[in-house]
């Protein structure tokens, strides 16, 4: 179901989004060579407690952790374990928080210590694709406009554009309608309107777009073992314009997106 949010509901999503933003900042600072994934998950748990939020992912269809932590060839949904990060790894951090019944959801990908030029470019181009899609998100934008914007940037860079996992509407549920694919045809698909909120979350790979799931039922990897990157923001179409709820303490107006396109 597509839900239309009131101002009061958006206010709650903004609080949830600010919590997610703090989690991501905290994890970014702590994700150094030698840090374990479970340590990072514990840090996220503390931020949630301090902000009176609860985790979106823990217990979701049985997911066992607060964060999804996806290293190297893991695209999404990596489960934090005792793995200790190594210089040269890339790490995607995905966090969700609930405040008074409403969700925020965001992700970023970073290098651990020094990483290769190829890995840096993958991370940067995936981030750029997310922001390019955010920038065009407003009432009247069609899902095909968002998907095609992301897809073009990925394909032009020579990357696999993952199709098995997509963005989504968000509100009282973490995953609501509509699905927001990272591919599409300009001018096609549902039109967005004021009161909607969506998660825009491109996933690009250095190799092919195909993915596989580990025996744990969660960990999604590139089928060819190539590196993958994932970025995500919660984007709301409010009466005051498009706001990125997960972009910082004060939700970022999309008019200011260019200033923060590297965050
Ligand atoms: Mg999401």
pLDDT in tens, 105-117: 999 999 999 999 9
Specify whether the CB–CB gap between 15 and 47 falls below 8 A.
no
Examine the pLDDT at 262 and tell me if it is beyond 70: no
61 contact partners, CB below 8 Å, separation of at least 6:
none
Distance CA 222, CA 195 (A): 35
| C-alpha of residue 42 to centroid of ligand 1, in Å | 20
| C-alpha of residue 199 to centroid of ligand 1, in Å | 6
Element (H, E) at 105: strand 102-111
Q: Which of 144, 150, 83, 146 is nearest to 112 (CA)?
A: 83
pLDDT in tens, 137-167: 999 999 999 999 999 999 999 999 999 999 9
| C-alpha of residue 106 to centroid of ligand 1, in Å | 6
| C-alpha of residue 38 to centroid of ligand 1, in Å | 21
| C-alpha of residue 229 to centroid of ligand 1, in Å | 14
Q: Which of 236, 202, 31, 220 is nearest to 124 (CA)?
A: 202
pLDDT band of residue 258 (cuts 50, 70, 90) is: low
Q: What is the pTM for the complete model shown?
A: 0.96
| C-alpha of residue 27 to centroid of ligand 1, in Å | 18
Examine the pLDDT at 217 and tell me if it is beyond 70: yes
Which residue pairs, CB below 8 angstroms and at least 24 apart, start in 175-178?
176/1, 176/2, 176/3, 177/1, 177/2, 178/2, 178/143
Give the per-residue pLDDT at 207: 98
Element (H, E) at 200: strand 197-200
Structure-block tokens of residue 233: 């923001």
10 contact partners, CB below 8 Å, separation of at least 6:
197, 236, 238, 243, 245
The DSSP symbol for 79 reads: P
Domains of the chain: 7-259 (3.90.230.10)
Give the per-residue pLDDT at 254: 85
Examine the pLDDT at 260 and tell me if it is beyond 60: no
Maximum Cα–Cα distance across the chain: 47
- What residues pack around ion ligand 1 (CB closer than 5 A)? 105, 199
Examine the pLDDT at 259 and tell me if it is beyond 80: no
pLDDT in tens, 28-52: 999 999 999 999 999 999 999 999 9
| C-alpha of residue 121 to centroid of ligand 1, in Å | 23
Examine the pLDDT at 119 and tell me if it is beyond 90: yes
Q: How many CB atoms lie within 10 A of CB 34?
A: 11
| C-alpha of residue 26 to centroid of ligand 1, in Å | 19
55 contact partners, CB below 8 Å, separation of at least 6:
44, 45, 48, 66, 96, 97, 98
177 contact partners, CB below 8 Å, separation of at least 6:
1, 2, 168, 169
Give the per-residue pLDDT at 251: 82
pLDDT in tens, 64-114: 999 999 999 999 999 999 999 999 999 999 999 999 999 999 999 999 999
Q: How far is CA 48 from CA 41, 72, 105, 193, 234, in A?
A: 11, 26, 13, 30, 17
Give the per-residue pLDDT at 167: 98
């Amino acid at each position: 179901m597509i839900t239309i949010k009131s101002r009061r509901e958006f206010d709650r999503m903004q609080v949830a989004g600010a919590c997610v933003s703090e989690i991501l900042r905290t994890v970014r600072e702590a994700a150094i060579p030698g840090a374990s994934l479970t340590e990072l998950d514990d840090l996220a748990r503390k931020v949630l407690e301090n902000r009176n939020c609860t985790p979106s992912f823990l217990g979701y269809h049985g997911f066992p952790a607060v964060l999804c932590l996806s290293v190297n060839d893991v695209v999404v949904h990596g489960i934090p374990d005792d793995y200790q990060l190594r210089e040269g790894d890339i790490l995607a951090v995905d966090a969700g928080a609930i405040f008074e019944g409403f969700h925020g959801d965001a992700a970023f990908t970073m290098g651990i210590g020094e990483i290769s030029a190829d890995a840096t470019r993958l991370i940067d181009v995936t981030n750029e694709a997310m922001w390019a899609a955010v920038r065009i998100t407003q009432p009247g934008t069609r899902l095909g406009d968002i998907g095609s914007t992301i897809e073009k940037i990925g394909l032009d860079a020579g990357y696999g554009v993952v199709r098995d996992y997509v963005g989504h509407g968000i509100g009282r549920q973490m995953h609501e309608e509509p699905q927001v694919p990272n591919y599409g045809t300009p001018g096609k698909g549902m039109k967005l309107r004021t009161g909607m909120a969506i998660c825009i979350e491109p996933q690009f790979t250095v190799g092919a777009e195909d993915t596989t799931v580990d025996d744990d039922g969660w960990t999604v990897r590139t089928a060819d073992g190539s590196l993958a990157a994932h970025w995500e923001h919660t984007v709301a179409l409010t009466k005051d314009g498009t706001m990125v709820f997960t972009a910082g303490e004060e939700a970022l107006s999309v008019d200011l997106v260019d200033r923060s396109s590297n965050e």
